[in-house]
Amino acid sequence: MRGEDRPRLNAMSLLVIAVAACAGSSLAVFGARSQEAAPVTLVPRLTGAANPMGQVPVPPLDRPIVDDMRRMRNYPEQPPIIPHSIDGYQLTINANRCLECHRREFTEGSGAPMISVTHFQDRDGQVLVDVTPRRYFCTECHVQQTDARVLVPNDFVDADDVGRKR
């Protein structure tokens, strides 16, 4: 049969080869470092503190926009933004302050929009009586509108405006 004449590698041989490969690559990296006085940076740091385990001051949060005006979404299926302050809202496994206004039975009294029916479906598409656990923590998808400066320029054009002359 095919491959009968080839010698097989046992577990010990594979371990020796793996250790040798790791040792060779580490010597190439750390050997270059020992020859120079300045440390070699393999990947430059993009964000965060130089000492990630040190104490870093937290920048202040941007001011929330609290005009309670519903904003148009930028793309289909975009989660709506939160148009009011959520300071002090409790979002834990035992309590969700958002549901006090946005749950179906409370929307008439609060005037808040009802949460989407998709929030009642589990992964298998089964409709539940209450909000599914995977949609329970609102701020995983929904963010509060703030007056933050734009970090990246955006030249997005809505699909309805493509090809139209302004």
What does the block give as tokens for 115? 């949460």
Q: Check residue 98 and give its pLDDT.
A: 93
- pTM of the prediction? 0.57
CB 91 within 8 A of CB 137: yes
HSE value, Cβ hemisphere, 13 Å, CA-based, for 161: 7
The architecture in CATH of the region 62-154 reads Orthogonal Bundle (1.10)
Give the start-to-end residue ranges of the domains of the chain.
9-41, 62-154
User: Three-state SS for 64?
Assistant: strand
Name, of 5-19, 73-87, 95-109, 143-157, the range with top average pLDDT.
95-109
CB 45 within 8 A of CB 33: no
CB 84 within 8 A of CB 97: no
5-51 per-position pLDDT tens digit: 555 667 777 777 877 777 665 555 555 554 555 566 566 666 666 77
Q: Which of 63-72, 78-87, 127-136 has the lowest mean pLDDT?
A: 63-72
